[in-house]
Structure 1
C-alpha cells in the first residue's frame, strides 16, 4: 500500500505566473495522483489586485477552498459570490468563472485533471 505524502507549508511555495496580460495570477500543482484513469491535481491559486479580471474556462471539475484574502467570483450566468477564507466552491467542467479581488486572495484547489493542465 502506498504511503501518504506530506507537503509542509506548501502554501508558501512560489507558483508559476499564469501569464495573462493585465492579470496578477499564479497557479501551481503541489501534488498529482498517479491514477491514469481519474487523475486529480491539487495546489494553490494566487490572485492580486489586477487591471483585468481573470476569466477561466473550466475543462475539468474542480473544488476550491479560499484559504486567505478575498475574491469576487462570478459564473457565466451572472451569479456572484464575495468569497473569504473558509468558503468552498465547486466549478463543474464547462463553466466559465471570473475571479477578481480588491487586494489579494489564495485558494487551494483539487481538480480532475493531469499535471500542468490548469
Structure 2
C-alpha cells in the first residue's frame, strides 16, 4: 500500500489550448495502481464553450463560481459552488461560463 501526501499549493498550472477561453488545469496527484487515478483543479474563465468527449469516468466538485453544462445537446445543467458531478465514460459535455468557475476533479483518465 502507498499513501502520497500532496502539500497545499503544489502542482503546476497547465495551459489548455482552447481558442477564446482561458482554461488552466493542474494535476496534483496520480496513483500507481493498475487503474491509475489523477486529481487536480480546472479553472474556467468566461469565453467560448469547450467540448469534452469523456473517455474515462470523472468526479468533479464545484469549488467556486458557476457554469453551464450542455450534455450531448439534450440537456443543460446549471451548476454552482458546492455541486458535485459524476460523469460516465462516453459522455459528451460542452462547458461554458459567463464569469468563472473552479472545479476539483478525480478521474481514471488514461494518458
TM-score by length of 1: 0.85
Query: For 1:48 and 1:3, how far apart are their aligned partners in 2?
Result: 33
RMSD: 1.6
- 1:109, distance to aligned residue in structure 2 (A): 0.4
| Aligned 8 A contact 2:6 2:28 in 1 | no
Query: For 1:20 and 1:91, how far apart are their aligned partners in 2?
Result: 21
Would you identify which runs of 4 or more consecutive aligned residues in structure 1 move more than 4 Å?
A: none
Provide structure 2 residue ranges, at least 5 long, that are not aligned to the other structure. Answer: none
Are residue 53 (structure 1) and residue 49 (structure 2) matched?
Answer: yes
Task: Give the structure with the higher percent strand.
Answer: 2
Matched ranges for 1:25-104 at <5 A: 25-35=23-33, 37-50=34-47, 52-104=48-100
Q: How many residues align?
A: 111
Provide structure 1 residue ranges, at least 5 long, that are not aligned to the other structure. Answer: none
TM-score by length of 2: 0.90
Query: Secondary structure of the residue that 1:23 maps to in structure 2?
Result: coil
